[in-house]
Structure 1
């Protein structure tokens, strides 16, 4: 079973000795802890609305938070004749009361409508937020490629959806920029090492133009008999080749070895006339020129490949360059073939188209280099341009999602705006009703009844030495009057605290403000029984249980929908270190798991902690169930019960008695009150040693045996697991009743006799 939600859903403590300590209260909350562990801090935190998480549809302004603590006492009893008036206590004029009830019902109806509309607004807001979160996740994921590449251009806008999306929603201009160009712009503008580069050189394709002689058959034009013979058989190339390669043949033909005629050289010369030689020389010159131009052209193109601009993709360029080299070298071979056979007709392979393609690539490269150089020259402006274009491209890419989001949230915004207007109208009506209620409540105030009620409670509590009356000529001011009629000047601390609590009690039941507004209450009661006698403590305990009962009605209403029960205390916190008071106000309350929680406040190493006290057990079906655990009861109470049983036995072993005593002392003083064994020993045996001194028969000052018995008992609390065992301290012949008496004396010296009396039930 879950606990019933209360107005204050969670409290986080970061003041005094609390460090990020939090707990979740329910309707009724009992917090137990010794003095100095931080109880008062909790009350002040609740009063200041610091670190509080309110349940849905609630804020601090919905409630009157009333805190009874030392601050409250000082504030209201700075002088004994200043006590703020208590309103709406006692009988009212019937007709006014009926009108108040009618207006209260109207106000409640408006509050219900206010709550319903706020819930609708919250629901719509949650749905809108859900759409917004889904949109943020979607566009953030969709923009991953942009965010991962353009890191520097999106500085501070890319790491999380909450910084990326607001920038996206600022965009109004969607432009489909070329992504590759944008990347190039980014790479250069945001590269700290980027520099300007020289452009690449193009080449002149005319340097490798062909010669018309290559397609002309170069032959002799001579009319000699031998020349005609060579022409007829088209052997001029064969003859020239043989003549050039076999000049030293001793007058014999290099092919058939016949003796050559004496005029053979003349006949050879007649074959190759001047025109022939001129054409042949022209081809040779063309070859040299072609070879030289090719070398120069290739050198230029090779030099281009050594550019330092690493972002150029030279793969195609290098392929074209290799192709050009291959074709040009093939053309050189063709020219060589022409020289070897001048009469042959040859044709060079085309290099113009290859060079055109290479020059085209160079033009593209130079454009990239120019772009780079322009960016480098105006880097700051280019960065801004890059960022602008980047967000325009991102917006263009994500625009369908952005448009859908705007459409969806616009619908919700319109609906929420309508609901807010309705809420504003209800608030205006509520103010009018509250103003009317304030006027009516002023008419119903009956201060005399409030004073009479407090005086009756004072009388019932046993405080007969004074009463309270209103101060003449002062509104909302009380005076504490002694029996002799004089204004009180000296009240005991217990009397002062008791009157303060009675006043606080009526504040809880009434209205502390002049406007008469009766808001629901959240009540905090911090150690209300300090310095009070048992009679006052009993009265205060009864009043606190009454307030707890009113708060408990909220749990009953939650189940029964019974509107007749008082339930204006919506949440209550009771903090104390007094175990008697704690037991009085918590009796049988641990059974209400749904609406009651017990907390133990402790402090270790100057750090305070708040712990919910509960246990978990499985029911018959094996399902886990939770139960409240009172931190002041359980095994500790069993030890006291066992001690009382032992005290009634005859011939009981002192070992048994001291064993239980040691456990009680350890649990109460060490675990619950957070003393250590040495500090208790010093306080009793050192600071109060005189209480154990007495005179012997001869008048000499000696130490009573009680001192040594207490010393032995306290030694258990100061020892460790490696020190003395029980056998060293317990004498089997020791009187058990003596052990019990010194045990009681320990509580008296430690000023804990109230606790001892409560736990022993007045025995011993």
Structure 2
């Protein structure tokens, strides 16, 4: 059975997708001409040009589709006078039929098992199949993988190239890496740091920093002169005095003034002689002067070395090496510069006062710190430059490391995914194997039936049945005959001539409908007669004469009841029509309360607007109740003769079957003469089940006969004690009818 019909545009008048779901064994589709009903029948039939529309089958088991529409008429009724034969089971092959009936329950059982397996695999209604569970499992993992991509895409776009814009591809890459990735697992910070270089679009080599050499400068700090007390010659007489005073540096300063005024002592301003000058010069000997000069040379070299070191350090800063912590480095350079200046001041003091001892502040710790910073920056620079020289290889390595990190983040999810996937795949594999076995078993059973059908089938029973119906309803001008090949029909006149070219449109439609009706119960080949099938009637009353409308309705109802029973090979029926009266006639069912929908049926409306055709489900029969419609029809002033009489007997059947207070025989006994015959006639038509279609079609009945029937119809209600009901249903026209 079809569970769902998907109509996907563009197709005919449909411009938007439409879905008919939760379909039942009986499905009524009502809509005006041109709204798109035939398109639905063509979708069901699988006609060319409708391949993009889909049918979803119950249990995944597709049934044979038999569709009556104008395409069927065009295909099967052509001017060469032949119709494909309809094969039915031969009545004389009792043993073969018995075997077929024995096989049918097995076929039904296996078909149900196949449907059950398909439901377990693909789901049905609220039941989720295992394939859907597997799909949901993939969807859940896809979402988790995609979340990792969103978290890290800003840093690792290069590693994600090719899968950045598709969640399914990203998940597939994760699963692929899961099978083969053995890269080193790095921290996220390390990966980001490396990515800034390796994944950069403008990566270039970086110049290394100049090494810092300050050994000579540091060595000055231990120079012996700084701790040496530089004093004059101790062998001269004045030396004892200077030593006792402890002011040789003061005396030295005074020599400068004595050289300017030789006759005056620079200390006491008294007159001096040549001996005083000789003793001063002897005290400050050449050795003294040499030591002082050495101090001055030391200062000069210290200053020069310091300036050179600072120049090198300034160069490191100006290079703007990205691997050097410039702020910290500059702060330490400033501290070193200040210490060098401070030490020069200490040396200057020593030169000024050579007899004193001084000690320089050590620059070693500062220099060592700066050297370490330069060395670390140069190491990073070397690594960077090596990366630049091997960028392709480095990119591959880092890409693998990035995916390794993603795998680590998803490790728990991936482990659970593979465990669940393996379990579901094993389940699906087992079910698919059982499904293959069941399908093979079903094919074998069907082949047995086909072979038995070939032994028992014939088109002759169909010829006989169609001709009997034609005779029963007054079609004596033509009949169905068998072609010599035993596989085709031909339409012939009583004298044996071909009648296909001279049939009226109504006769052509009727004979084609009868052909379809018997085709439903048979097949166009000697096998396949007992296969399950879906039947579609698309506007079957089009172009029919009034004489045959009621038989078409009756035959379709018979097919619908077979589908409702569930015991026939006809599993589902679709009826599509634009005719209100035919719709109400064909959809009438005594077990339905009012307009409520039975569990075995569904109602649909097809409408057409500026935006195209739309199919809507109806919770109730979209057309007024059949009984109300019959009375409304009876009250029409322009009602045709055939409609009037058909309407009366339809009302009688409906009302008196439900009321049941007085039998038809008692009612008829209350009439006399011709009225009694008319009453019997109305009830006999009812009992024959002849329910006609209420359409405005001409039928040759006299007006007097119609008036007589209308009068008897009214009297039936009066004599049955139901005059009040008659008056209520007829309303204002009740008086007029009573006196007509």
TM-score range, shorter-chain basis?
Answer: 0.7 to 0.9
Deviation at 1:58, TM superposition (A): 1.9
State the SS of the aligned residue for 2:66.
strand
Distance (whole Å) between structure 2 residues aligned to residue 90 and residue 8 of structure 1: 36
Q: In 1, are the aligned partners of 2:58 and 2:115 still within 8 Å (CA)?
A: no
Matched, 1:213 2:208: no
The residue number in structure 2 matching 1:684 is none
Q: How does 1:332-371 map to 2 (within 5 A)?
A: 332-371=344-383
Q: In 1, are the aligned partners of 2:29 and 2:603 still within 8 Å (CA)?
A: yes
Distance (whole Å) between structure 2 residues aligned to residue 579 and residue 593 of structure 1: 20
The residue number in structure 2 matching 1:7 is 3
The residue number in structure 2 matching 1:77 is 77
The residue number in structure 1 matching 2:249 is 237
Deviation at 1:134, TM superposition (A): 3.0
Q: In 1, are the aligned partners of 2:208 and 2:378 still within 8 Å (CA)?
A: yes
Distance (whole Å) between structure 2 residues aligned to residue 420 and residue 316 of structure 1: 71
State the SS of the aligned residue for 2:210.
coil
Identify the range of structure 1 (418-427 vs 87-96) with the bigger mean alpha-carbon deviation. 87-96
Q: In 2, are the aligned partners of 1:7 and 1:570 still within 8 Å (CA)?
A: no
The residue number in structure 2 matching 1:35 is 33
- Where does the alignment leave 5 or more consecutive residues of structure 1 unmatched? 555-565, 614-626, 649-751
State the SS of the aligned residue for 1:209.
helix
The residue number in structure 2 matching 1:591 is 596
The residue number in structure 2 matching 1:58 is 60
Deviation at 1:170, TM superposition (A): 0.9
The residue number in structure 1 matching 2:156 is 150
Task: Provide, for residues 492-550 of structure 1, a one-character-per-residue CA deviation record: whole Å limited to 9, x for no partner.
Answer: 22111111111211222223444326332222221111111112222212222222223
Q: In 2, are the aligned partners of 1:139 and 1:401 still within 8 Å (CA)?
A: no
- Where does the alignment leave 5 or more consecutive residues of structure 2 unmatched? 123-128, 640-694, 701-729
Question: Which residue among 141, 160, 167 is the counterpart of 1:161?
Answer: 167
Distance (whole Å) between structure 2 residues aligned to residue 349 and residue 518 of structure 1: 113
Kindly tell me: are residues 285 and 599 of structure 1, through their superposed partners in 2, closer, same or farther at Cα, counting changes over 3 Å?
A: same
Q: In 2, are the aligned partners of 1:21 and 1:610 still within 8 Å (CA)?
A: no
Q: How does 1:305-320 map to 2 (within 5 A)?
A: 305-307=317-319, 310=322, 313-320=325-332
Matched, 1:278 2:287: no
State the SS of the aligned residue for 1:518.
coil
Distance (whole Å) between structure 2 residues aligned to residue 237 and residue 638 of structure 1: 141
The residue number in structure 2 matching 1:672 is none
State the SS of the aligned residue for 2:159.
helix
Identify the range of structure 1 (180-189 vs 221-230) with the bigger mean alpha-carbon deviation. 180-189
Kindly tell me: are residues 484 and 55 of structure 1, through their superposed partners in 2, closer, same or farther at Cα, counting changes over 3 Å?
A: closer
Normalised by the length of structure 1, the TM-score is 0.73
Kindly tell me: are residues 289 and 357 of structure 1, through their superposed partners in 2, closer, same or farther at Cα, counting changes over 3 Å?
A: same
The residue number in structure 1 matching 2:106 is 106
Q: In 2, are the aligned partners of 1:220 and 1:275 still within 8 Å (CA)?
A: no
Kindly tell me: are residues 79 and 337 of structure 1, through their superposed partners in 2, closer, same or farther at Cα, counting changes over 3 Å?
A: farther
Kindly tell me: are residues 449 and 354 of structure 1, through their superposed partners in 2, closer, same or farther at Cα, counting changes over 3 Å?
A: same
Matched, 1:612 2:617: yes
The residue number in structure 2 matching 1:526 is 538
Q: How does 1:152-301 map to 2 (within 5 A)?
A: 152-171=158-177, 172-179=180-187, 180=189, 182-211=191-220, 212-223=223-234, 224-240=236-252, 259=270, 261=272, 266-301=278-313
Distance (whole Å) between structure 1 residues aligned to residue 506 and residue 133 of structure 2: 56
Identify the range of structure 1 (540-549 vs 241-250) with the bigger mean alpha-carbon deviation. 241-250
Alignment root-mean-square deviation, CA: 3.8
The residue number in structure 2 matching 1:126 is 132
Distance (whole Å) between structure 2 residues aligned to residue 461 and residue 9 of structure 1: 38
Q: In 1, are the aligned partners of 2:597 and 2:621 still within 8 Å (CA)?
A: no
Distance (whole Å) between structure 2 residues aligned to residue 16 and residue 603 of structure 1: 12
Distance (whole Å) between structure 2 residues aligned to residue 647 and residue 454 of structure 1: 35
Matched, 1:446 2:444: no
Kindly tell me: are residues 399 and 81 of structure 1, through their superposed partners in 2, closer, same or farther at Cα, counting changes over 3 Å?
A: same
The residue number in structure 2 matching 1:95 is 95
The residue number in structure 2 matching 1:563 is none
Identify the range of structure 1 (502-511 vs 245-254) with the bigger mean alpha-carbon deviation. 245-254
Distance (whole Å) between structure 2 residues aligned to residue 642 and residue 75 of structure 1: 37
Task: Provide, for residues 158-192 of structure 1, a one-character-per-residue CA deviation record: whole Å limited to 9, x for no partner.
Answer: 34532211101112123234455543443334433
Q: In 1, are the aligned partners of 2:183 and 2:400 still within 8 Å (CA)?
A: no
Deviation at 1:18, TM superposition (A): 0.7
State the SS of the aligned residue for 2:83.
coil
Kindly tell me: are residues 244 and 176 of structure 1, through their superposed partners in 2, closer, same or farther at Cα, counting changes over 3 Å?
A: farther
Normalised by the length of structure 2, the TM-score is 0.75
State the SS of the aligned residue for 2:347.
helix
Q: How does 1:331-730 map to 2 (within 5 A)?
A: 331-377=343-389, 379-472=391-484, 474-488=485-499, 489-516=501-528, 518-554=530-566, 566-588=567-589, 590-605=595-610, 607-613=612-618, 627-630=619-622, 632-633=623-624, 641=632, 644=635
Distance (whole Å) between structure 2 residues aligned to residue 319 and residue 198 of structure 1: 22
Matched, 1:324 2:336: yes
The residue number in structure 2 matching 1:667 is none
Q: In 1, are the aligned partners of 2:59 and 2:116 still within 8 Å (CA)?
A: no
Task: Provide, for residues 223-256 of structure 1, a one-character-per-residue CA deviation record: whole Å limited to 9, x for no partner.
Answer: 22333333345433344467679998998888x8
State the SS of the aligned residue for 1:331.
helix
Q: In 1, are the aligned partners of 2:336 and 2:363 still within 8 Å (CA)?
A: yes
Q: In 1, are the aligned partners of 2:36 and 2:613 still within 8 Å (CA)?
A: yes
Matched, 1:21 2:13: no
Q: In 2, are the aligned partners of 1:7 and 1:58 still within 8 Å (CA)?
A: no
Q: In 2, are the aligned partners of 1:466 and 1:480 still within 8 Å (CA)?
A: yes
State the SS of the aligned residue for 1:83.
strand
Task: Provide, for residues 462-521 of structure 1, a one-character-per-residue CA deviation record: whole Å limited to 9, x for no partner.
Answer: 32221112212x142111111222121322221111111112112222234443263322
